[in-house]
A and B are shown apart, each in its own frame.
Chain A
Amino acid sequence: MALDESFTGRVYPPSSTFEVSREKIREFADAIGDPSPLYRDVAAARAAGYPDVIAPPTFAVIISMKANDVIISDPDLGLDYCRVVHGDQSFVHHRPIRAGDRLVAVAHVDSVMSRAGNDFLSVRAELGTENGEPVTTARATLVARGTADAAKGASQ
C-alpha cells in the first residue's frame, strides 16, 4: 500500500535529551578508525578553538536516526520497516557537535512520494541544544521497496 502523502509537512514532538559524552565521541571515532586528537584530547580541542572535544561529521546520525524512529514507527504512516533501505543522508552542521552538548531532535516529514512502485520518504531531524541553539540539520531519504500500489504484481 502506498504511503499517505498527506504526511508531508508533519512535525513530531521533540525527542528526549541526548547528552553527548566524551566517551561516546571516542567510541564512535574508534569505530570509524579515526585517530584525530580533536575527538579524544580536550587540550588539543581547546588549542583548536573548541570548548571541548568535537564529534566526527557523521556522529549526528546516532541522534537523527533515533529521532526518525518516531516517524518510521508511526502506525498511522504504515511504513513496512522490513522493506526500508537508506537512500541518502546529509548533514548541515551549524557548528560542530561537542562533548557536553545536551541535544534535542525534532523530526519532520519533508515529503512522501511514490514512484515506480517504491515509496520515498524524505525526513529531516533538526538537532539543537535544549536552549534552542541550532546545531545540525540531518536529512535522509528512506526508500520502501515495492510497497506502493502501482507496484502490485509488477514488483513481486
Chain B
Amino acid sequence: MSSTDTAAGRRGAAEVSVGDELPPLSVRITRADLVRYAGASLDFNPIHWNERFARQVGLPDVIAHGMLTMALGGRLVTDWAGDPGAVVEYGVRFTRPVVVPDDDEGALVEFTGKVAEQREDGTFRIDITARSAGQTVLGRAAAVVRLA
C-alpha cells in the first residue's frame, strides 16, 4: 500500500519516520539566476538586480528574491518526496536577505530538512533550515507533505 504501488521515485509514508533527515541541498545563486527568476516569477523589484537601487534603500548589495530562496527550500522537500504534488502546505518567514555579489561565485545557500512530526491525518511536517554566509535566512520554514 505504500511505496510498492506508487510511481518510480515517489516516497511512501511507510518509508518515513519522525526524525529522518532529508538529503541536504546546496545551491549557488548568481546574478544571472536572479534575472532568470525575475522573468519567470514576474517579480521585477530592482533590489534583485540593480545594485545602485539596492544600496539606495539601505541594502548592502543586490539580494535574492525571498521567494527564490523559498522555492529552493521547496526543492529540498520535493526532491525527497519524489512528487511535488505531495506538498500540501508550505510556509516560511523571511528573516535575513541572501546577498548576491556581482561575481561568478554568487551566494551559496544551504538547505537541510528533517521530518518533525506525523500529524493525525497521516501527513508529515518537514522542518527546513536555510543558511547563507553563516546565518539562517528563513525562519519557521516548514512544509506539510501527504505521501502515498
Residue ranges of A at the interface with B (Cβ–Cβ < 8 Å) = 24, 27-28, 30-34, 36, 38-39, 47-50, 54-58, 61-62, 65-66, 82, 85-93, 95-96, 139
CB distance B43 to A65 under 8 Å? yes
Complex: how many Å from CA A90 to CA B142?
A: 9
- Least CB distance, A21 to chain B, in whole angstroms: 12
Which residues of chain A are within 8 angstroms of B67 by Cβ–Cβ distance?
58, 61, 86, 89
Cα–Cα, bound, A28→B42 (Å): 10
Output the least CB separation between A93 and chain B (Å): 5
Looking at A32, A38, A39, A56, the one whose CB has the most chain B CB atoms below 10 A away is A32
B91 within 8 A of A: yes
Q: Are B74 and A58 in contact (CB under 8 A)?
A: yes
User: Does residue B66 face the partner (Cβ distance < 8 Å to A)?
Assistant: yes
Interface hit among B16-24, B79-87, B98-106, B111-119: B79-87
User: Do the beta carbons of A50 and B85 come within 8 Å of each other?
Assistant: yes
Instruction: Please name the residue on chain B nearest to A50 by beta carbon.
Output: B85
Q: What's the minimum C-beta distance from B101 to chain A, rounded to whole angstroms?
A: 19
Contact with A along B69-90 (1 / 0, CB 8 A): 0111011011100011101111
Residue contact B84 to A56, C-beta cutoff 8 Å: yes
Tell me whether A34 and B75 are in contact (CB under 8 A): yes
Distance in angstroms between the alpha carbons of A39 and B74 in the assembled complex:
14
Contact between A38 and B66 (Cβ–Cβ < 8 Å)?
no
Given contacts A82-B57, A96-B84, contact A34 B78 (CB under 8 A): yes
In the complex, the chain B residue whose C-beta lies closest to that of A92 is B89
Residue pair A38, B93 in contact (C-beta under 8 Å): no
Q: How far is the CA of A54 from the CA of B83 in the complex (A)?
A: 10
- For A87, what are the chain B residues with a Cβ–Cβ distance below 8 Å? 93-94
In Å, the complex CA distance between A49 and B71 comes to 23
Please tell me if B68 contacts chain A, counting CB pairs below 8 Å.
yes
Q: Given A65-B42, A88-B93, A96-B84, list of 17 further CB < 8 A pairs?
A: A24-B40, A27-B40, A28-B41, A31-B36, A33-B27, A34-B78, A36-B78, A39-B84, A48-B85, A57-B90, A58-B71, A88-B94, A89-B66, A89-B67, A90-B91, A93-B88, A95-B85
Q: How far is the CA of A54 from the CA of B81 in the complex (A)?
A: 15
Residue of B57, B70, B79 with highest tally of chain A CB at under 10 A: B70
Q: Shortest distance in angstroms between A54's beta carbon and chain B's nearest beta carbon? A: 5
Known A48-B83, A57-B78, A62-B41: A30·B36 in contact at CB below 8 Å: yes
Q: In the docked arrangement, what's the CA distance between A31 and B39, Å?
A: 9
The answer on a CB contact under 8 Å between B72 and A31 is no
Residues of B within 8 A of A28 (CB): 40-41
Q: Is the CB of B92 within 8 A of A89?
A: yes
Q: Which of A24, A55, A66, A96 has the most CB of B within 10 A?
A: A96
